[in-house]
C-alpha cells in the first residue's frame, strides 16, 4: 500500500538539520562524549516554586477537565497583568489566547489567515516554523527577508516587495543571530505593516532572556501596533518549561479571534493545572524588572556567553556578544555544514546556519544550554581544530 502525502507536505523543503542530526546520533551510538551546543532547550530546571505549584495543582481534581479553546479566564487575566507590569501595555481579555507552546500558535495563525498563494514575509535566517509551518503548510508562499550582518540582522523594509503579502514575521531578541532591536525599528515595522495591510506576527519568545541590564521591549508598546500585531510569548525559555507546553498570543482582537476559531476545531486549551502554574509564574514579576529566579538564570547564561565568545574570538572567529537569547552566532569562515561536521569530529555539536535559511550560510549557532565546564571543554576541543 502507498499513501501519497498531501501536496503541501511534499512542498516542505528538505530538512537540513537531518544530516547533522544523523551524524550526532551516530556519535552518540559510538559512545562519544559529545558536548551538545546545538539545541535550544535549557539545561536549567524550572524554578522551585513552579515545581511545588505543579504538585499542588495537579493534585486538585478540579484541574483535569477540558479548558476553553482561548484558555482559562484566570490565565488570561494573569497574562494581562503581566503585560501591564512588564511592558505597560493594557490588554482586554479578548486580546489574549493561551497556546500549547508558541510553535502551534505561530503555525495556526497561518491557518486562520493565509490563503493559497498568499505571500508570507519571513526573516532569513529564522526559526523554520514561519516558512514551513505557517506559510507552506497553509499553501502560502514564504518570501525571505534577508537578515544581513551589516544591517544588524534586521530586514530592510525599503527593499521589500510587499505586494500580495498577507503576513510578516519578526523575532527579536532573535533566534538564531542573538540580535536585538530598538523602538525606532519596531515603529518602522508597525508603520510598514499598517501601510500595507499586513498582519505582523512578532515572536517575543526570548524577551526574558537578556543581559547587561538590557530589558527587551514588546512591539505592542508602539503606537498603532494593536491594529496589526499579534505578539507571541512562551513560558518555555522564560521559566525553563519547554516540555510543559504553555505559551500565549496577545494583540489585535480580530487576529486573536481568528486563532481561537482555528484552535476550537483542532484542540482545547492547555491543561488547566499547567495554566494555573503558568499564571503563578507570571505573577512572580513585581515590576518590569525580572524576578530573582530570572536574574540568576540570566547571570548563568551571561557567564557562559562570555566564556564562549571570548574563547571563539581568541581563536580568530568573529561573533558578537548577544544582549539577549541564549545563542551565539559565529562567522565560521566556511560552509556551515562543513564546519559543523568538523566540530563533530572533535565531539562538539553545533547547528549549521544554513539550516535556518540561505542567508544563514557561513555561520553556526552555539546554544548556551550546557554548564560552563562543558562550554570550556567545547572551547578546548574547538581550539584543536584550528591548529
Sites of contact with ligand PLP (CB under 6 A): 40, 101-103, 127, 171, 175, 203, 205, 234, 236, 242, 247
- Minimum distance from CB of 335 to ligand PLP (Å)? 23
| DSSP-derived 3-state class of residue 147 | coil
* Lookup result for grid cell 551538545: 36
* Lookup result for grid cell 479571534: 257
- Minimum distance from CB of 22 to ligand PLP (Å)? 21
336/382 with CB nearer ligand PLP: 336
134/236 with CB nearer ligand PLP: 236
235/379 with CB nearer ligand PLP: 235
The DSSP bridge partners found for residue 35 are 348
Degrees, nearest 5: CA angle 222-127-280: 65
203/208 with CB nearer ligand PLP: 203
- Minimum distance from CB of 46 to ligand PLP (Å)? 13
Contact 348, 37 (CB under 8 A): yes
- Minimum distance from CB of 131 to ligand PLP (Å)? 13
- Minimum distance from CB of 85 to ligand PLP (Å)? 21
| DSSP-derived 3-state class of residue 5 | coil
Contact 205, 75 (CB under 8 A): no
- Minimum distance from CB of 279 to ligand PLP (Å)? 16
83/127 with CB nearer ligand PLP: 127
- Minimum distance from CB of 4 to ligand PLP (Å)? 29
- Minimum distance from CB of 243 to ligand PLP (Å)? 9
Q: HSE on the CB side for 210, CA within 13 Å?
A: 22
Directed axis angle between helix 372-386 and helix 336-345, to 10°?
A: 110
Burial 96-115 (b: 16+ CB within 10 A, else e): bbbbbbbbbbbbbbbbbbbe
d(C-alpha 57, C-alpha 28), whole Å: 37
72/244 with CB nearer ligand PLP: 244
Peptide bond into 173 cis (omega under 30): yes
Q: Given strand 318-319, what is the order of strands in its sheet? A: 318-319, 327-331, 363-367, 351-352
How many other C-beta atoms are found inside a 10 Å radius of the C-beta of residue 237?
24
- Among 240, 245, 218, 182, which residue's Cα sits nearest to residue 83? 218
Q: Given strand 119-124, what is the order of strands in its sheet? A: 96-99, 247-251, 229-234, 199-203, 165-170, 119-124, 141-146
172/379 with CB nearer ligand PLP: 172
80/367 with CB nearer ligand PLP: 367
- Minimum distance from CB of 13 to ligand PLP (Å)? 18
102/252 with CB nearer ligand PLP: 102
Region label for 3, one of left (φ > 0), alpha (ψ between -120 and 50) or beta (otherwise): beta
- Minimum distance from CB of 59 to ligand PLP (Å)? 25
Contact 100, 309 (CB under 8 A): no
175/298 with CB nearer ligand PLP: 175
Which stretch of DSSP H or E encloses residue 121? Answer: strand 119-124
Contact 270, 246 (CB under 8 A): yes
Amino acid at each position: 500500500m502507498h499513501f501519497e502525502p498531501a501536496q503541501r507536505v511534499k512542498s516542505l523543503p528538505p530538512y537540513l538539520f537531518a544530516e547533522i542530526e544523523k551524524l550526532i546520533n551516530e556519535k552518540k551510538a559510538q559512545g562519544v562524549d559529545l558536548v551538545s551546543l546545538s539545541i535550544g532547550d535549557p539545561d536549567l530546571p524550572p524554578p522551585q516554586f513552579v515545581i511545588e505549584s505543579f504538585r499542588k495543582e495537579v493534585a486538585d481534581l478540579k484541574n483535569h477537565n477540558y479548558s476553553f479553546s482561548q484558555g482559562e479566564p484566570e490565565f488570561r487575566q494573569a497574562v494581562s497583568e503581566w503585560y501591564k507590569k512588564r511592558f505597560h501595555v493594557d490588554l482586554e481579555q479578548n486580546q489574549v489566547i493561551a497556546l500549547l507552546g508558541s510553535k502551534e500558535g505561530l503555525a495556526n495563525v497561518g491557518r486562520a489567515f493565509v490563503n493559497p498563494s498568499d505571500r508570507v514575509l519571513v526573516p532569513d535566517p529564522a526559526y523554520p516554523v514561519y516558512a514551513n509551518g505557517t506559510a507552506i503548510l497553509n499553501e502560502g508562499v514564504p518570501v525571505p527577508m534577508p537578515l544581513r550582518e551589516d544591517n544588524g540582522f534586521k530586514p530592510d523594509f525599503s527593499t521589500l516587495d510587499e505586494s500580495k503579502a498577507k503576513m510578516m514575521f519578526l523575532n527579536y531578541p532573535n533566534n538564531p543571530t542573538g540580535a536585538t532591536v530598538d523602538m525606532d525599528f519596531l515603529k518602522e515595522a508597525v508603520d510598514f505593516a499598517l501601510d500595507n495591510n499586513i498582519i505582523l506576527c512578532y515572536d517575543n519568545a526570548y524577551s526574558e532572556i537578556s543581559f547587561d541590564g538590557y530589558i527587551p521591549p514588546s512591539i505592542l508598546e508602539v503606537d498603532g501596533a494593536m491594529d496589526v500585531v499579534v505578539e507571541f510569548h512562551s513560558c518555555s525559555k522564560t521559566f525553563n518549561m519547554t516540555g510543559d507546553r504553555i505559551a500565549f498570543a496577545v494583540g489585535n482582537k480580530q487576529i486573536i479571534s481568528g486563532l481561537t476559531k482555528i484552535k476550537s476545531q483542532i484542540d482545547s486549551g492547555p491543561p488547566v493545572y499547567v495554566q494555573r502554574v503558568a499564571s503563578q509564574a507570571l505573577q512572580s514579576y513585581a515590576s518590569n524588572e525580572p524576578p530573582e529566579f530570572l536574574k540568576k538564570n540570566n547571570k548563568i547564561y551571561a557567564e557562559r556567553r562570555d566564556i564562549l565568545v571570548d574563547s571563539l574570538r581568541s581563536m580568530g572567529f568573529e561573533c558578537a556578544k548577544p544582549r539577549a537569547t541564549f545563542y551565539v552566532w559565529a562567522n565560521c569562515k566556511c560552509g556551515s555544514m562543513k564546519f559543523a561536521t568538523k566540530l563533530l569530529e572533535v565531539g562538539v555539536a553545533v547547528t549549521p546556519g544554513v539550516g535556518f535559511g540561505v542567508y544563514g550560510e557561513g555561520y553556526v549557532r552555539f546554544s548556551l544550554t550546557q554548564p560552563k565546564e562543558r562550554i570550556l571543554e567545547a572551547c578546548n576541543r574547538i581550539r584543536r581544530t584550528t591548529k
